[in-house]
């Protein structure tokens, strides 16, 4: 990795009160300037460390809370505390995985028009610093998981090891890479169930798996279109995908996701558990969100990924928030007092 250039000295900064080359500055002024530059550099690198663990991506860990929402126990303070702890564990482990992944992908990321700006690929964060940060997050994450039920600890370990295997080798295999991404979402849901002692329905597991496959195939379709000739260099598995194959996979998983969710909402056990026949109405918002994601895959080729772009897209976010609101309204029988 090329070393960063030394910061310019005061003598090299004409104007704004700078001292000319033939008039050396006062030693106290130089010391103050160097101290300010050093502090600025530390904050800059600290910001890079924060970016490396990608807090904005932790929204994916809300799947840990799904069992609580669909068990009608969202407003139980004790249960919500356990769910928040489970969410925190997966955020810590996800941050560690992002560090490890960016270390492994640094060379390939430098060839990507957007990913080359990631902290490790750009040199803002050193590989050593990223390794230390990953180690700290792993210790905190697995330590927190060990404080919970043993099955939750097992799921958390499985999630972490699976993601490490993905980062170093398994991401090179087309379709298997997306399947592993989907498995990570399923493990979040199962972990949320164990962490809160809530039974997770098979419908929830299948819906989660299908939705994650859909999002994963959408991301690969977007990457394939954006990478063009650089596909193999940026991600080796991309050369084994085809636009037609990914379009077919997107279509199948989109329909299967919507169909499975609708089947869940009209299932007799679901109606009996929630005491309502109206949950099927929320399928409309699932359809809108799926359609909007497909639009983002095809219309935003310059974005780093459609899964990241959807978090900034107003219509998509609105569809998801309205879906959440209507589900809570129906499931918890919310009525104005």
Cα–chain center distance at 141: 16
Query: Over 90: is that where the pLDDT of 319 sits?
Result: yes
Q: What is the pLDDT of residue 60?
A: 86
> How far is Cα 222 from Cα 246, in angstroms, rounded to an integer?
10
Confidence of residue 48 (pLDDT cuts 50, 70, 90): confident
Q: What is the pLDDT of residue 210?
A: 96
Q: For the residues 223-242, what does the mean pLDDT come to?
A: 68
Q: What is the pLDDT of residue 275?
A: 87
- What pTM, to 2 d.p., does this model score? 0.77
Q: What is the pLDDT of residue 110?
A: 85
With b meaning 16 or more CB within 10 Å and e meaning fewer, what string describes 267-284? Answer: eeebeeebeeeebbebbe
Residue the block writes with tokens 């590989």: 127
Quickly list DSSP for 293-307.
HHHHHHH-TTSS-HH
Query: Over 90: is that where the pLDDT of 58 sits?
Result: no
Structure confidence by residue, pLDDT tens digits, 265-318: 999 999 998 888 999 999 999 999 999 999 888 886 666 677 778 878 899 999
Cα–chain center distance at 315: 20
Q: What is the pLDDT of residue 10?
A: 36
Average pLDDT of the residues of the chain: 82
Q: What is the pLDDT of residue 57?
A: 83
| Top-confidence residue, 101 or 284 | 284
Structure confidence by residue, pLDDT tens digits, 162-183: 999 988 888 888 899 999 999 9
> CB burial class (10 A; 0-12, 13-18, 19+) of residue 179?
middle
Q: For the residues 256-266, what does the mean pLDDT come to?
A: 96
Share of the chain above pLDDT 70, in %: 82
Q: For the residues 33-39, what does the mean pLDDT come to?
A: 45
Cα–chain center distance at 154: 21
């Amino acid at each position: 990795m090329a070393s960063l250039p030394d910061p310019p000295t005061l003598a090299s900064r004409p104007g704004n009160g700078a001292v000319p080359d033939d008039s050396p500055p006062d030693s106290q002024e130089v010391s103050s300037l160097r101290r300010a530059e050093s502090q600025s550099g530390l904050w800059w690198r600290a910001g890079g460390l924060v970016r490396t663990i990608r807090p904005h991506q932790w929204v994916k860990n809300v799947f840990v809370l799904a069992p609580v929402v669909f068990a009608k126990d969202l407003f139980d303070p004790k249960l919500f505390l356990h769910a928040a702890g489970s969410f925190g564990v997966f955020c810590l482990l996800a941050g560690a995985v992002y560090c490890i992944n960016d270390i492994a992908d640094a060379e390939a990321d430098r060839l990507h028009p957007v990913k080359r700006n990631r902290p490790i690929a750009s040199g803002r964060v050193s590989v050593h610093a990223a390794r230390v940060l990953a180690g700290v997050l792993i210790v905190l994450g697995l330590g927190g998981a060990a404080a919970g039920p043993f099955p939750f600890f097992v799921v958390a370990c499985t999630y972490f090891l699976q993601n490490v295997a993905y980062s170093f080798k398994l991401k090179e295999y087309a379709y298997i890479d997306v399947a592993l991404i989907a498995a990570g979402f399923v493990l979040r849901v199962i972990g949320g169930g164990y962490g809160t002692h809530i039974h997770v329905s098979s419908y929830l597991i299948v819906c989660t798996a299908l939705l994650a496959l859909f999002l994963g195939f959408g991301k690969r379709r977007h990457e394939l279109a954006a990478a063009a000739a650089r596909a193999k260099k940026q991600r080796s598995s991309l050369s084994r995908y085809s636009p037609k194959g990914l379009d077919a996979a997107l279509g199948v998983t989109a329909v299967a996701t919507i169909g499975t969710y609708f089947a869940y909402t009209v299932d007799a056990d679901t109606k009996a558990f929630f005491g309502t026949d109206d949950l099927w109405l929320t399928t409309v918002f699932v359809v809108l969100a799926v359609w909007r994601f497909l639009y983002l895959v095809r219309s935003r080729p310059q974005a780093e990924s459609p899964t990241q772009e959807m978090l900034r897209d107003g219509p998509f976010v609105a569809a998801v928030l309205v879906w959440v609101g209507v589900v809570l309204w129906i499931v918890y029988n919310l009525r104005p007092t």
